[in-house]
Structure 1
Amino acid sequence: TISDQMGEPVWSGTLDITNDLNKEVTTSFPVDEAIPQRKPGVYVLTAQPVDDKSDDYGSRATQWFVVSDIGLSTYTGQDGLNVFARSLGSAKPISGAELTLLARNNEILGTATTDAEGHAVFNPGLTRGENGMVPAVLMAKQGDNDFVFLDMGKAGFDLSDRGVEGRASPGALDVYAWTERGIYRAGEDVHVAALARDGAAKAVENLPLTFIFT
């Protein structure tokens, strides 16, 4: 079993579950009460009826989970694997989080620590491994009580065809003009507004503008 080979039991008890016929029931498990001295890591919860005394763990309902405030997101580009860590509770960047990139064969490909912006970068060569050296898991740890991991084997979102190259540099002068709506009837007045900014994004005063409608 997992407790015999790779872990240790941390809690055992009973939990009352409402039994509504032919209905899906959601029951909250009080993790903080069951494990007040929680250590960072992956937990496995198994469940079976009270009157079931079988030792067959294969037939038990099983679910793994982690309890963490660390939210991870990654972006892969020519500069490498960019990792951002933020608090799930406050959305603020998490600095000082220890990151470890593991390969399929459990080899440590690299380590990094997030900066004040919650950002860290892994060398691009680490993401180009083959066979057992392909990145498999990104782990993050903060202090002695917070741990989370990200499965690197799942397909990411390819945004290369979504206009992510950004807007072209406007140069020394940038003018943004708009109307109050997108369609007009013949003879209606068209109200136009415009913003003019210089290369430092400062307002440009007394600038004559010519509007051409086509």
Structure 2
Amino acid sequence: MASKGSPLHGPRIKLIEKARDLFFEAKETFETKAADEHAKLLRMQHELEVTTKQAIFVDSSISDTIRTCIVLGNHRAALKVKQEFKVSDKRWYWLKVFALATIRDWEALEKFSKEKKPPIGYRPFVEACIDADEKAEALKYIPKLADPREKAESYVRIGMPKEAADAASQTKDSELLGRLKLTFSQNASASSIFDTLRDRLSFPGVS
């Protein structure tokens, strides 16, 4: 038997539409638009609950609706929500990156990163992989980070002192080098890498 979705969606939509009409008559533009979008979102969420047979969409936000669609593998529905509610590309990328990481679909994440230059850069890709404890996946994106500080700090987070030192050396920032060395203070071998770098670059203040 097909799911009917969350209960009372019909009456709620009618009430919201009635409120929208009242706002329109009162020339309350912002409230009219908000009520109209709320009703539209509820309709879409109900349709999703019927098609997926899971009562998990109604009353969630636009962002959560998109995220849930992606987690369930319904990318077409996620894109439809994006288009219907004019979700920005930056917001779309953030949502999709972390949704794909949630389900550990690393192949899809890598493919997504190559569709075009991400409007949010590659840092969210790195963070999503590190948060999922996927060092190998993070290494696909760390070299693409434009900011050497972000690159150095990312290498530190996955325990790669040599690569972190090499990236940090590009900044000519002695404070950053000192901070990174302290991160590896319990690792004599790693600390020596920063000492060697200090000697080579003659950075003051790094001990």
* Shared fold per TM-score greater than 0.5: no
TM-score (norm 2): 0.27
Query: Which structure shows the higher helix fraction?
Result: 2
Q: Choose between structure 1 and 2 for higher RCO, CA contacts under 8 A separated by at least 6 residues.
A: 1
TM-score (norm 1): 0.27
Larger Rg: 1
